[in-house]
Structure 1
Amino acid sequence: MTTARRRRAIALRGWAVAVAVYLAAVFHRTSLGVAGLQAADRFSISASQLSVFVLLQLGIYAGMQIPTGILVDRYGPRRLLVVAACTMGVAQLLFAAAESYPVALLARALLGLGDALTFVSVLRFAAGQFAPNRYPVVVSITGTLGQIGNLVATLPLTALLHGVGWTPTFLGAGLLSLVSGAAVYLLLPRAPRMPRGSRQGTALLASLLSVGRRVNAAWSLAGTRVGFWLHFASMSTSLAFGVLWGVPFMVEGQRLSRNAAGAVLLFSVLLAIVIGPPIGYLIGRRPATRVPLAIGVNLLTVLGWYAVLAAFSHPMPYWLLLALVLVTTAGGPISSIGFALARDYNGPAIVGTATGVVNVAGFVAAIVACLSVGWTLDLRGSASLGSYRLAFAVAVTVQAFGLAQTVRWWLLARRRVLRAQQEGKPTPVHIVRRRWDLS
């Protein structure tokens, strides 16, 4: 085997092991999507208290993205993925045994911490192992394979919860996560050893003190902000629907059975798996299409939700619900465009930090969307269709705000690059002037 072929084989093996941890993370993250109503019964909590699970889990996830980017640039993806898998495993074991709401909150907080270390580490590994033109495809396939975890968190998890119960189900999930951590430790290639002097505490302190400078360097680039707001808009309704409020909306608002609601979520996950790789291939081959494609999908999602919520004062037809979920689900694969923008506009030294900045956005948006649904339902004092219509109208407004910001920063980014090209300065990307570009 040639040296180049051997390197490719090692890269693919390492990427596959890293994706296994990400798959487990997606499963853990989305497990409340079908277990939310059971969690409310088990811990005797309200809709707002149920939203706190997502607030805590995704809040910690979002807050850790920039530190994770810095840590993975400093320590490498292997170490962080081992810590991530073990943390998530312990969290699920604790969640399985939890009998009270505070203990369950602690478990979800730990889960958010472990989850936070995962995706950026996988992308950092891929950025160092694959060529730039293959990176968007690898990111999309990573997201697609991660959706297998989401797939298991639909009908299979529903069947397990009804068949063997809460505690055995989440105990098994925790043990599988620990196994994935052991696989990373044994199989993922080790990062090159750091020079001895760089291991000293003074170097780590200097690294920590540079956090603001690194984040500012990434954030100052308009391309990073386009990626941030694109991820914000694309993930908001999609993630809020998948991780918490999709099943309650369909069961309590649309009068579906839990099995039927689980089937709709299963359909949405299968759709994400199918469309993810083609999106990655398209944006890898034709980068100019990526932001317009994301804007189009987000606009269709926002308008679709507003139209359906305004038109139907009774449960909507099943085919229309499926169509709405189809459009909403596309936001997940589309959000990967934000990471391609982060990679293109930022140098290798801070690409992990920039990826973390972008990854914060979608989870902050999902937190706000989830909380807005819970608060609206509690204020209305009921879980009727009318209450859900109002709650989801508020949640979709979060996505509309992100869409407006995406368009704004995209136009500004194009103007800055076009100006630099005109002046003969080096630019991270090359673009062609269009009629809509700002002068």
Structure 2
Amino acid sequence: MTHKQTSDRLRRSIIVLSAVILPYILVYFHRVAPAVVVDPIMKDFAIDASTVGLLASLYFLVYTFLQVPAGILSDWLGPRMTISAGTAFAALGSLLFGFAPTIEWAFVGRFAVGVGVSFIFVPILRLHTTWFEPRHFATLSGLTLLVGNTGALLASYPLATLSAFAGWRSAFFITGAVGLLAALIAALLIKDSPTAAGLETPAGAPTVQKATFRSATLGMLGVMRRPVNWVPFLIFAGLYGTIMGFQGAWGSAFLQDVYGLPPVDASTLLFAMGLGMLIGCPAVGWLTDRTGRLTIVFTVGVALFLTLLVLLEWLPGSTVPVSRPALWLLLFSLGLSASVFILTWPMARAQNDPQAAGSATGFSNMGGFLGGAIVPALFGKLLESHKTGALTTQGRPVFEASGYEYGFLIFFAATAMSLLLLLFSILRERR
């Protein structure tokens, strides 16, 4: 490959990756937004904690069961069509969610958002496979999550501020309009592979052709039949279910009810967690590619995350004074350690044929969102029987600290499962 060919491919690959930035920011924005606007939503629709938990979980439930189709469509139709169509559909769902006159319509809107965003991430990973050398995969995964966590940051303090100023409905109208623009940009700029752009494949990268629907489906079935592929599936289920149970659903309410913080301060601390993940994701990817010790990095990160989670739950009932800066640092560190979840996809990809890259990463991704569907809903169910009888200024019921203690036991159990599976993976590698 000549210098000019390499330069042309690099320039085009940057354009392709730039085109998926906005769609993936929106994926994360929608994922965690309910945690910040939970109070006005509960007030507007007169719903309880169980219903809010289900509304937040619906995104994950839909996402979970569409990861298999997302992997198949990514391998069959290609990233360009899959990403642009998914982004447009999610934008329409956001508009409907903002318009919703009743909670039933809000569920329909949230369902549509979940359907649309389900078809964005897996095709992005396929673009990594076709446009770049394999040795950069973990770093690219980290950089992608850096972009995604920008969406999580936007869905914390900025969303809370916009909601307070213009109302939560207007915030989702604006998000829907941005989503339609993002879909158009993706359709115009993405090329499925260097070959599709008339360029050479990078050195070391597999030459992956578009699969037929039949071969893509058989590839997914092959991935699901291999026991080794269930390990990253379950690791991601436990870890990401906990992350989304806190950051995406109940973190703000916990910080308000247990730590006694006002809503804006609680959203600022969730911002700190998002900032930690923003920095941590590319750092974890770089460290893993640099050391080649994926399982060790993954295990240490999950162990640290579990330790910090226990500390966050224990501190309010202890005699240890907690300053606001110390709490900010704790949430930042929690996000930093949580960033190791990005190693799920390199782990899954390394265990499978490159031709089935979309199917392999789609299947492992399914695990995380199954956890994200189950954990927030269970947490909300437990909280429902621990109301104090008081309401926040925005109309949300206040819950007892004991309710959150029971909820955190779910977090601990799910994360401990992930840690044990990683320890098992280390033992298996050393045989």
- The two structures have a TM-score, normalised by structure 2, of 0.87
CA distance in 1, matches of 2:169, 2:378: 30
Contact 1:11 1:129 (8 Å CA) reproduced: yes
- Give the direction of change, closer, same or farther, for the CA distance of 1:367–1:177 in structure 2 (3 Å limit): same
Equivalent residue in structure 1 for 2:281, among 269, 272, 276: 276
**2:161 counterpart (159, 162, 170):** 159
* 1:342 correspondence with 2:348: yes
Question: 1:266 Cα deviation (Å)?
Answer: 1.2
Q: Please give the alpha-carbon distance, in whole angstroms, between the structure 1 residues aligned to 2:39 and 2:318.
A: 22
Aligned to 1:176: 178
* Aligned twin of 2:269: 264
2:90 pairs, out of 88, 91, 95, with 88
Equivalent pair of 1:234/1:334 in contact (CA under 8 Å): no
Distance 1:95 1:357 in 2: 28
CA distance in 2, matches of 1:374, 1:34: 15
What are the Cα deviations for residues 238-290 of structure 1, in whole angstroms up to 9, with x where unaligned?
222111111111112221011111110111112212222221111112122x2
- Which residue is equivalent to 2:420? 404
Does 2:322 correspond to 1:322?
no
In the TM superposition, what are the counterparts of 1:236-251 in structure 2 within 5 Å?
236-251=241-256
Aligned-residue offset at 1:24: 1.5
Inter-CA distance 238–262: structure 2 relative to 1 (3 Å threshold): same
Q: How does 1:76-155 map to 2 (within 5 A)?
A: 76-155=78-157
Aligned partners of 1:82 and 1:181 also within 8 Å: yes
Instruction: Summarize the Cα distance change of 1:158–1:310 in structure 2 as closer, same or farther, 3 Å threshold.
Output: closer
1:293 aligns with 2:297: yes
Per the TM alignment, residue 310 of structure 1 is displaced from its structure 2 partner at its CA by: 4.6
Of 387, 390, 398, 2:403 maps to 387
By how many angstroms is 1:156 displaced?
1.0
| 1:217 aligned to which of 219, 222, 225 | 222
Which of these residues, 42, 52, 55, is aligned with residue 53 of structure 1? Answer: 55
Residues 104 and 65 from structure 1, CA distance in 2 versus in 1: closer, same or farther, beyond 3 angstroms?
A: same
Q: How far off is 1:410 after superposition? A: 4.4
Give 1:353 deviation, angstroms: 0.4
Contact 1:250 1:256 in 2 (8 A): yes
Contact 1:226 1:410 in 2 (8 A): no
- Range with bigger deviation, 44-53 or 33-42: 33-42
| Count of residue correspondences | 404
After superposition, the CA RMSD in angstroms is: 2.4
Letter in 1 for 2:383: L
1:433 is aligned to: none
Deviations 1:43-76 (A, max 9, x none): 1111000011122111000111111011100010
Which has the higher mean CA deviation after the structures are superposed, 317-326 or 175-184? 317-326
Q: Is the contact between residue 280 and residue 337 of structure 2 (CA under 8 Å) also seen in structure 1? A: no
Letter in 1 for 2:297: L
1:13 to 2:15 alignment? yes
Cα distance change of structure 1 residues 354 and 44 upon mapping to structure 2, 3 Å threshold: same
Quick one: which of 358, 372, 389 aligns to 2:364? 358
Deviation of 1:161 (Å) = 0.5
* Residues 1:38 and 1:218: Cα distance change in structure 2 (over 3 Å): same
1:370-389 deviations in Å (ceiling 9; x for gaps):
12210111133440222212
Say if 1:169 and 1:404 are closer, same or farther in 2 by CA, change over 3 A: same
What is the distance in 1 between the residues matched to 2:414 and 2:381?
14
The alignment partner of 2:171 has SS state of: helix
* Range 341-350 or range 177-186, more displaced: 341-350
Q: CA deviation at 1:221?
A: 4.5
Conservation of the 8 A alpha-carbon contact between 1:297 and 1:327: no
Which residue does 1:67 correspond to in 2?
69
Assess if the C-alpha contact under 8 Å between 1:370 and 1:395 holds in 2: no
Amino acid at match of 1:373: F
Aligned position for 2:199: none
**Identity among equivalent pairs (%):** 22
User: Aligned partners of 1:329, 1:308: CA distance in 2, in Å?
Assistant: 12
Alignment gaps of 5+ in structure 1? 415-436
